[in-house]
Structure 1
Amino acid sequence: MSNFVVLIPARLSSSRLPNKALADIHGKPMVVRVAERALASKAERVVVATDHADIQTACQVHGIEAVLTAPEHESGTTRLAEAAGILNLAGEDCVVNVQGDEPLIEPELINAVAEQLQQSSAPMATAAHLLTDYTDFTDANCVKVVLNNKNNALYFSRAAIPWPRELMRSGAEVMPADIPVYRHIGIYGYRVQFLHQYADLTPSPLEQAESLEQLRVLWHGYNIAVQITPHAPAAGVDTAADLERVRTNWKEVKK
């Protein structure tokens, strides 16, 4: 595997959990815990890209590299494009975007996405796992992805896709047995040159309808390579209850 850099976008503002990035997890801010997990991967460098000096300072106190980016970015992807420029990363460099609210992320997943990107001709990579639960299949909060025969994404949707017509007509609330269904995992790899291109791409109507920014990439004709992982990753932190779950499970993560 060639070298890659992990960039972690982290905003101070959070509607459901105020100051989420700085929430304490056994003595360290959450964003620091995420960075520490990323440092356990094969990344040659891990950098937090933030919109607030308080997050930058908290990272620096714990020895984590952080850069201050503009506050008005529409997404973590455009924030990373700015960070890549600040860090003078070369166009051919590979970057993995690890969300700042994923303190239980597995370093092996980070490595797998980086390797998928490096082995593919696609400018972007992500991950998915096999979905086996019918409730998740029909849940709009569970994003599905359909792949082609090269494991590139054909489409992402909150709807139940692919739609097995005869099975769904029957009313049987069971998963299809003859075609795989994949749940998308929100981790991304990019070639730096494409990160800068993404910042200039216009939003697509599909992206706006589904509220899924990765659809902008497909809309403009670019491929997204998908790494299939053997199991679902631990959930991230969106709410106070999620934070308590992570705090409770932290000792297991540290083993």
Structure 2
Amino acid sequence: MSDPAPFIVAIPARYASTRLPGKPLRQIADAPMIVHVARRALAAGASSVIVATDDVRIAAELRDHDVQVCMTRADHASGSDRLAECAEQLGWSDDTIVVNLQGDEPLAPVSGIRAVAEALATSDAPMATLASPITSAHEMFDPNCVKVVCDANGYALYFSRAPLPYARDAFALKRDVLPSTVPFLRHIGIYAYRAGFLRRFAALRPTPLEQAEALEQLRALEHGERIQVRIAPEPFPAGVDTEEDLARVRRLLESAGANRE
């Protein structure tokens, strides 16, 4: 078996989170959250790990770790836009595989980071992402759970906060149980792209469906680009958006640390 294609992991991290101010620097067990995310990227075997941030406090916390910091503008609308500036600053070649790992994913599985990089490396699509099966009706009808519908070759047809695909006959009878014959998939917000496409994507105008659903990946589909979707090899725990999320992750990581002692 050939060695996997080399990839870098780029982590967009901004200080001014609306729901959880200073989120990247919130302490979890022995380190700030951004350090935990960087550790996951390093453990995945990335050839380099770059944190793209607009805040010197975040940069300072990473000074003693094997991570490169790229200082970016503060006015970026999305993580992809921030990484596009990073690609220009650092001069990444167009064929460089870049994994976009969100800065609020301290529990991101190493296998998932590798899987999305491999999905891009073995596909002719310019962008790749992951998904996992939806098993509960609550999740299916939750607008915070983003659904993805794929074609027979695993390319994304659409992403939505609505329940898709809509099982007409089954849901006409009841909506508390999912029919077992329908492939319901939850989108996992980790991406891989070639650096050349990342630059091109960030230069595209936001699109109507992207703005309606508040899902930036729809910009790629609306402009006719393909997105390869792979099933995640293991579950992705939810990221950190709220104080409740932070407390949950603290319990998990502190318990893991205690078990290693």
TM over 0.5: yes
Tell me the CA shift for residue 251 of structure 1.
4.2
Is 1:51–1:70's contact at 8 Å kept on the other side of the alignment?
yes
Aligned residue in 2 for 1:133? 136
Name the SS for the 2:62 alignment partner. helix
Q: Which runs of 5+ in 1 are unaligned?
A: none
Q: Which among 222, 244, 253 is matched to residue 225 of structure 2? A: 222
In structure 2, distance between residues paired with 1:30 and 1:172:
37
In structure 1, distance between residues paired with 2:175 and 2:31:
48
Aligned residue in 2 for 1:112? 115
Q: Which among 92, 96, 101 is matched to residue 93 of structure 1? A: 96
Aligned residue in 1 for 2:13? 10
In structure 1, distance between residues paired with 2:22 and 2:60:
14
RMSD: 1.3
Quick one: which amino acid aligns to residue 191 of structure 1? R
Is 1:32–1:64's contact at 8 Å kept on the other side of the alignment?
no
Quick one: which amino acid aligns to residue 182 of structure 1? L
Q: Which among 41, 46, 49 is matched to residue 46 of structure 1? A: 49
In structure 1, distance between residues paired with 2:147 and 2:120:
20
Aligned residue in 1 for 2:197? 194
Is 1:128–1:184's contact at 8 Å kept on the other side of the alignment?
yes
Tell me the CA shift for residue 164 of structure 1.
1.1
Name the SS for the 1:61 alignment partner. coil
In structure 1, distance between residues paired with 2:255 and 2:217:
32
Name the SS for the 1:234 alignment partner. coil
Quick one: which amino acid aligns to residue 222 of structure 1? E
Is 2:112–2:234's contact at 8 Å kept on the other side of the alignment?
no
Is 1:130–1:231's contact at 8 Å kept on the other side of the alignment?
no
Tell me the CA shift for residue 29 of structure 1.
1.3
Misfit runs of 4+, over 3 Å: 251-255
Q: How does 1:1-255 map to 2 (within 5 A)?
A: 1-251=4-254, 253=256
Is 1:4–1:44's contact at 8 Å kept on the other side of the alignment?
yes
Is 1:104–1:253's contact at 8 Å kept on the other side of the alignment?
no
Name the SS for the 2:105 alignment partner. coil
Q: TM-score, normalised by structure 1?
A: 0.96
Is 1:6–1:45's contact at 8 Å kept on the other side of the alignment?
yes
Q: TM-score, normalised by structure 2?
A: 0.94
Quick one: which amino acid aligns to residue 4 of structure 1? F
| Percentage of matched positions with identical amino acids | 48
Tell me the CA shift for residue 77 of structure 1.
0.2
